[in-house]
Each structure stands twice: as C-alpha cells, then as structure tokens.
Amino acid sequence: MRTLALDVGSKTIGLAISDEDGIIANALCTLARRGHADDARDIAARVRERAVRRVVVGLPLELDGREGRRARAVHAFVAALRTELDAAVDVATWDERFSTAAAERTLLEADLSRSKRKQHVDAVAAQFILQGWLDAQARRAEPGGTA
C-alpha cells in the first residue's frame, strides 16, 4: 500500500512517497504554498493520481513534545486535506522533530550547493518523516512489537 508523507512548512510542502510494499520512502518534490484549500486540492489530486491509500503529515511539535503555533497550523491544514480526500484514504500525523535538520545534514554530506539544498530539503525532510513512520509500522507488525 502506497503512503504519501508531507512536511508542511509556511512557504513550502515537501512530499515523499513509499514504494508499493510500504518499506522504502523516496523524496518526491516540493510545492510552493498557496493556502490550505488550494494546497489540499493539489495534494488530493496527487493522492488520486498515484493511488495513495495513506497520507502521513509531519507534526512540528515543540522540543518538549507540546503542540505550539506551528502544530496548530498543521492541524488546520490536515482538516482541509481530509475534506478533499476520499474517505478511504487514511490521514495520520507523525512527530517530525529534527526531520529538517537530518535532511540538511544528509544534503550537506552529499556535497550539494546551498541553492540545491534549499530546493530539496523539504522533500528529503518528508522522506525522513515517512521512513520513520514506515519503520514504526513494521515494528508494530512484528510479533511482540511495540512501536
């Protein structure tokens, strides 16, 4: 089952998608934000086009785990997204703390220029979000698993 992950920022949304088996996450693209309703319609169209059955949205929690202003904005976007998606598409949130920092480290290690890093960081952050979520689901599916 294919899963799409979103790293929702104030200016862009990074997208990543899983393979059909739900094992490996791949960075997909970065979209410029146009507002909750327009962004939700765009994401819903991509979900239909790629036969996605789950959407995982990174939730930007504070370092202490509380939900702040940014997390509330993501919840508002998730509400808009749910109205655009077919009821059969599951939408979940996932703690995204440190995903952008991990993405930036990965792109630095790949020796990309500053402008190339800026173009790809949100999609790679979405990839980190999705891979963490996929790995947790796999651990839960193992006998005795508790992720």
| pTM score, whole prediction | 0.85
Give per-residue pLDDT as tens, 63-111: 898 999 999 999 999 999 999 999 999 999 998 876 666 656 665 666 6
Considering only 32-41, 52-61, 67-76, 135-144, which range has the smallest mean pLDDT?
135-144
Instruction: Give, in order, the Cα–Cα distances in Å from 108 to each of 35, 111, 123.
Output: 30, 5, 15
Task: Please tell me the predicted confidence (pLDDT) of residue 130.
Answer: 96
Q: CA 53 to CA 111: how far, in whole Å?
A: 35
Radius of gyration for the alpha carbons in the chain, expressed in angstroms and rounded: 15
Go through the domains of the chain in sequence order and give each one's CATH number: 3-141 (3.30.420.140)
Q: CA 63 to CA 134: how far, in whole Å?
A: 22
